[in-house]
Chain A
Amino acid sequence: MTFAVCGFSILLGSQSIYSQSLHEKIDAISQKPASPLSAIDADDGIFLRRLSLDLRNAVPTTEERIAFLADADPNKRIAWTERMLTDPLFAERIVTWLDLTLMERRPAAQVQRQPWLDWLRSKVDQATPIDQLSREVLTASWWKKEDRTQQRFFLDRGGDPHLITRDVGRIFLGRDMQCAQCHDHPIVDDYRQRDYHGLLAYFSQSASTEVTYKDAEGKDVKVIIYAEKAPADAAFESVFDKGKPHWMGPALPLVTTAWEPFTPPAHRYQAIASDWITAPVLQLPATSRRERLAKELTDPGYRPFAENWANRLWAMMLGRGIVHPLDMHHAHNPPVDRALLQVLTDGLIECKFDIKTFIREIALSKTYQRGNHIPLDDDRSILQSVDIQPIQGSIAAIEADIQSLKEKARNEKSELKTQTDAMTAIDAEHVRLRGEVAKVEAAWNDAVKKVAEQTAARDKAAKPVADTKAKQTLLAEAAAKLEQAKALTGEDAELAAAIATTVAKRDATVAQLPPLEASLQAAESALQGLVAVEKVASDQMVAAGANLETIKEQVVAKSSELIRLRDQWRRTCNQEILALQVLAKSAKWVEWRKANDTIAQSATALAGAQTQINTLAMQRTEIESGLNTLVTQAAEKTKEKNVSLQSQTTENEKIAAITGELEQLQATQQQLLASKSLLSNPAAIDPSLAELEQSLGQRRTALDQSKATLVQLTTQMTTIESQLVELGKQQQSQSDAMTANQSALQAAQESLADLQQSVESARSTMSECERVLHDRSEIELQVARLKPLSPEQLCWSILRVMGIFDSFIANEMAELDKQSPLPAEPPATEQELQERRKLAVRRAVDKLRGNADAFANLYAGGAGQVDNFFASAEQALFVMNGGSVYSWSGPSGANLTSRVAQNADVEAAVGVMYETLLARKPSPAELAAMVNQLNVPAEQKGARAQEAVWALLSSAEFRFAQ
């Protein structure tokens, strides 16, 4: 199939046979040599969800998903893109986008929302290109009733010239110059007060005015319109640099435009009557500044306009502008890819600003179809494979580059300053000349007023002269008639008297005339004098007006120079910022690698420390067992010592006993020997003495034995004691070894902990670097952006996926078929059927819009604010307890929840739920949890499925498009 694809015109003529289509050009630029942080293409499920959200504001239905996944056509992405572009919801999506872009959720005060949306719908239906639409919005006329709806852009901004200047700058030019109203922008160097007043000049003569018109019943109705007067401008000065007036005619940023030639007041308005306003009478200016703006802004040669819309449409699809924020195109916020912005801008111009064509091209690009995950495996081998050497090596060069760019920018800025001062001098002369014009115009106005006054005075003086003359003539005629009557009637005293009176009166009148004529004469000559003065003033005014032309050349030349210099300086600043970004990215790579190296190096050290700890622990065990042996030995020795001591004691006791016995025996022996001489038979005691002697001998031997034993024991004791001392020494040395081992172990453990900590911090550095690099990859379009659904997308997606939206559409279809059935014969054409469906979709959208508004109230910024992502507890409470989301999640008809509840195959049911809501299969853990949730008796299934569906709708994954 062939589509009217922009640049995709191979079939159309030989001229373009070699031309690439826009999506190929996009890919040629942004599909650079793959960075390790590039994602592969999105899978079909993610792609369809993304495409449907971007082109239809809602996720696809289960049926669509199944059909798409089953489609075997290798070109199915192209076919389905086309299918969605022709879906009536695509038009609704563009209407919503245009409404939000142009009106930024401002309340509909002067123009109702529905007619405004219907007007946008008609524009989308007519495929009005965005430049044409911009012109229609900006030139919407107040004097034609039919244009009133499209005046909403101005009317619902209260007709305030500053708000309109700000928003035209933001919305049509991508430049928020509001802070440059009273002085040059304090933060954005690139936005000058001149730029602001150049843009303001297009609107300074337009304002809200109350007028009256007659309604259908002929009743007077009052209404506010945004009317325009003839061009006029005032000088301005910076509040920080008072006394230096400047003057700007209408001019767009980045280009010089010359002001209109001086127009005398008489030619400033044209005589066209409004077709509806009855009072007051408002004149239409001969030249309209707004029409001029529309023409200059949308001139194909003026890039910022096309750049702005290319960037805005890109952001609508990709979630982020190539210049971001979208209204901050300036020197210090360069496009993330200048070549890409250029190609897109050219593409938009080439396809004549057609929204659908341009969006199709974006959708077909591989860049749009990127996956949402970087293939980061757990060991990060992809990142480790990056050759860091050249990156590291380039850092010094980039830094030097930045220094020289800074220097260059400084010099250019200083030249710019010099020329700006020169411009200020020219401005002073210009303002003086403008003052002259104003002065002579005031003098002329004065002269005109005086001429008018004198004309009245002259007319007043002429009246008595004319009256007197008429009286004279009548009296003369009366006298003549009376004479005739007298002649006919003969002498008649009464007639004669009448004639005399008439003649006398005529004569008196004749006498009155000269002074009256004299004063008329005086008035007339005074008038002539004033007319001459007016002529002079008029000539002077024209001359002064022409005199302005003398400075025009200077102003134009100097402002062209300023523009050229600023362009140069802007380029340098752009380069500097881009270099800073490259530097920051390189630094992150290096930081990542350093942390990675730290971890790698630490691995050896960690192992070493661990080995050391193990060795020391082993040593410790050895020392401990040695010590134990020693302790056992010492105990044994001590026991031996005690035994020996016991033996000594025993021997000593023995000796003492023997010694006692010996002494007794010896005493007995002495007594026997002494008594022998006294005995008669001394020999009789000899046996006793001998026995005694024997006993003594025995005792002496025993004593000697014991003494010898004692000596032996003493020697033994000495040995034991010296052995014990030896053992003590050994013990001491072992416990010293133990202490040393302990402190070594502690040191080793501490150094292990240190190492572990440094690894930990290196890990968190790495993950931080990865996060930054990942974010940067998103910005550089290497990976699909995680973009939050808009409040509208969130609401319509829930309504769609729960079958509510489609049932409303079906109802509207039925209603339409009932109201005006399509004729059976001839059968309705495909086009008629499509038109009917479109109508039904629109009626359903209008009926359900209140829900989207409720979401917008909670999820979007206020009126006039850019839609940023915000998460608040109030939003969560609304989803949790607000009623609507939970009740939408409930089983109803054949909706998702019912089907999940009724499916006997619980695993399959869970699969459908995940694929429909999240465009993926459940993980095993999720599957288990969900099966557990749904494995309940039949009567509880509905409620359980509702909880599960609600959980998925309220998950972060549903909240974001990937």
Chain B
Amino acid sequence: MDAHYACRTGEHFQARRRFLGSIAGGAIAGALGSVTQGIAAEQAKEKDMRVIVFNLHGGLSQMESWDPKPGAITGGPCRAIPTSVPGIHISELLPHTAKIMHHLCLMRGVNTSEDDHGKGAYMMMTGRRQTAAADYPQLGAVAAKMLTHDEQPLPGHILITPGGSGSRAADAAYLGPKYGSVVLGAGAPPSHSARPDNIPEDAEARRHDLRRKVNEQFLSKRRTSVTEAYTHSYEQALRLMEKRETFDVSKESEQDQARYGKHDFGRHCLLARRLLEAGVSYIQVVHSNYDTHNENFGFHLEQLGEFDQPFATLVNDLSERGLLDQTLVVVLSEFGRTPNINLYYGRDHWSKAWSVVMAGGKVQRGAAYGKTNAQGTEVIEGQVDHGELFHTYLQAVGVDSTSSIAVDGRDVPLADPATSPVWSVLT
């Protein structure tokens, strides 16, 4: 039973040594997920890498977007159009995106074998299949932990949704609520980020001065990483309040607001740009809803009509502002849609052969990786799954996805150790 594990080499041993080292040294840091940082994280942080994910809820049809099959029996009525990269064609529903294809990397061979919304979303966001026995942190939580500087006043894991508010600690699983997502429902600023009206400015100053004074006295006797983390969190909160304008998209020029479109998704994309420029490590923008069991083509025309321009504008802006090299852009769903068109002109859930798009960071530009067959029913080349994609996202922002971090005295691998990154799409 003493087997030769694939995962029993290198990192695991290193991780164990660190684990023993931390016991031996009795270092308190070893016992604290929130203050433990690997060398890898420090390196990634130095480079100031970021991630933005466009989550097209419900399941985008690959046929009407990244992998059109015009003329095929499954192809539907939409045509394919040429793009800025000769030889790569995408659906005519994405004319603006076609012009920025030289920034993008299409992953056309995604096979995740999971047709359930909840389970598929879990897999795409955590890189693992959901099991009852373990819960894993989402990409945003891992990115926030590995990429966010301690001095960054803004939260590292932001979720821009059409509605809702608050924060979701569960997204971070064992990484802890610090890395859970902060929800900007309808683009509103984070909860409790404004000083209440019943606390005037001078009272605010006084209460914080007193708080600091009490801390000073206490910390002069015993200063540990936990006490530091606690007092730091208040200063961070105050700085976040100062930076509250970052969440106000109306501060952008009239011209930019027009370029992105004044609909919700356009505003959310512009907000995302503001946040990326302010150094937020991870932003997920949700666009809903693509679950087109009925009238697939009409819905995609409408939904992608909204998605296309702001998305292309954002990628272009990032490129022009020199941010694309340090920003990974991902467009994903929980799965794709069936090649087969049903009786209601709809397409159903389909996870065997669909597409995900990446751009920026260390990702190859202007590439199409993987291939489906003529009807789009099967992957025939370059097949990848959720686990490999998860590894690839992390590698694309300079995080060694095969490494482990210590959380409360136990080592946890950042990504599923049973799988690995798609190295060929990384530079």
Contact = CB atoms under 8 A, between A and B. Distances in A.
Interface in B174-208: 174, 176-178, 180, 182, 190-196, 198-199, 203, 206-208
Given A786-B222, A886-B196, A324 B2 contact: no
A584 B408 contact: no
Given A881-B196, A956-B218, A865 B173 contact: yes
A882 B131 contact: no
Interface stretch (A134-142, A294-302, A325-333, A540-548): A325-333
Contact of B131 (A162, A333, A923): A162
Interface in A926-947: 926, 929-930, 933, 943-944, 947
Interface stretch (B28-36, B376-384, B385-393): B28-36
B216 to A, nearest CB: 8
Contacts of B132: 157-158, 160, 162-163
Interface in A850-877: 857-866, 868-877
B26 interface: yes
Contacts of A872: 177-178, 233
A834 to B, nearest CB: 38
B418 to A, nearest CB: 9
Given A863-B170, A873-B237, A874-B191, 10 more contacts: A183-B5, A186-B8, A424-B1, A860-B177, A870-B229, A933-B206, A948-B210, A951-B210, A956-B230, A957-B218
B24 interface: yes
The 3 closest A-B pairs by CB, nearest first: A160-B132, A951-B210, A876-B237
Contacts, number: 253
A488 interface: no
Nearest to B5: A240
Contacts of B180: 862, 874
A860 B199 CA distance: 28
A241 interface: yes
B190 A166 contact: no
A240 B193 contact: no
A661 interface: no
Interface residues of B, number: 85
Interface stretch (A6-14, A217-225, A282-290, A772-780): A772-780
A166 B134 CA distance: 9
17 contacts: A176-B410, A183-B3, A241-B3, A332-B20, A423-B1, A583-B24, A772-B25, A858-B177, A861-B173, A865-B176, A868-B32, A869-B32, A874-B191, A881-B193, A886-B199, A929-B213, A952-B210
Most buried by A among B26, B196, B198, B238: B26
B217 interface: yes
B15 interface: yes
Most buried by A among B1, B173, B411: B1
B133 A178 contact: yes
A580 interface: yes
A954 interface: yes
A861 B168 CA distance: 10
Interface of A: 157-158, 160, 162-163, 165-166, 176, 178, 181, 183-184, 186-187, 192-194, 238, 240-241, 244, 246, 324-325, 328, 332-333, 372-373, 417, 420, 423-424, 577, 580-581, 583-585, 588, 771-772, 774-776, 779, 786, 788, 857-866, 868-878, 880-883, 886, 918, 923, 925-926, 929-930, 933, 943-944, 947-948, 950-952, 954-957, 959-960
B343 interface: no
A876 B233 CA distance: 6
Interface in B124-145: 131-135
Contact of A951 (B191, B207, B227, B231): B207
B408 A868 contact: yes
Contact of A874 (B24, B174, B177, B238): B177
B233 A871 contact: yes
B261 to A, nearest CB: 31
A427 B396 CA distance: 46
B177 to A, nearest CB: 5
Given A775-B27, A872-B178, A881-B192, A955 B215 contact: yes
Nearest to A767: B223
Contacts of A424: 1
A293 B241 CA distance: 54
Contacts of A865: 135, 173-174, 176
Most buried by A among B7, B167, B182: B167
B203 A947 contact: yes
B191 to A, nearest CB: 7
Nearest to B135: A864
B33 A184 contact: no
A485 B283 CA distance: 107
B301 interface: no
A885 B15 CA distance: 41
A238 B215 contact: no
If over half of B's interface residues share one DSSP class (helix, strand or loop), that class is named, otherwise mixed; here it is: helix
B193 A956 contact: no
B196 A775 contact: no
A240 to B, nearest CB: 4
Contacts of A160: 132-133
Contact of B1 (A166, A194, A886): A194
A192 B1 contact: yes
Given A181-B133, A947-B210, A955-B215, A238 B176 contact: no
Contacts of B182: 874
A418 to B, nearest CB: 10
Contacts of A165: 133
B374 interface: no
B384 to A, nearest CB: 21
A373 B214 contact: no
B321 interface: no
A873 B5 contact: no
A873 B240 contact: yes
Most buried by B among A187, A194, A948: A187
Contact of A880 (B131, B170, B192): B192
A511 B195 CA distance: 108
B234 A779 contact: no
B1 A238 contact: yes
A775 B417 CA distance: 33
A862 B178 contact: no
B236 A876 contact: yes
B73 interface: no
B219 to A, nearest CB: 7
A868 B233 contact: no
Contacts of B210: 929-930, 933, 947-948, 951-952
A49 to B, nearest CB: 14
A938 to B, nearest CB: 17
Contacts of A868: 32-34, 176, 407-408
Contacts of A166: 133-134
Given A160-B132, A187-B16, A870 B2 contact: no
B135 A877 contact: no
A325 B407 CA distance: 10
Contacts of A870: 33-34, 176-178, 229
Contacts of A588: 25
B360 interface: no
A747 B423 CA distance: 56
Most buried by B among A585, A857, A925, A951: A951
A781 to B, nearest CB: 13
Interface in B204-262: 206-211, 213-215, 217-219, 221-222, 224, 226-227, 229-234, 236-238, 240-241
Contact of B196 (A373, A423, A875, A883): A883
B214 A951 contact: yes
A869 B167 contact: no
A238 B211 contact: no
Contacts of A775: 26-28, 224
Given A870-B177, A874-B167, A955-B218, A420 B16 contact: no
Interface in B7-65: 7-8, 12, 15-16, 19-20, 23-28, 31-34
Contacts of B196: 881, 883, 886
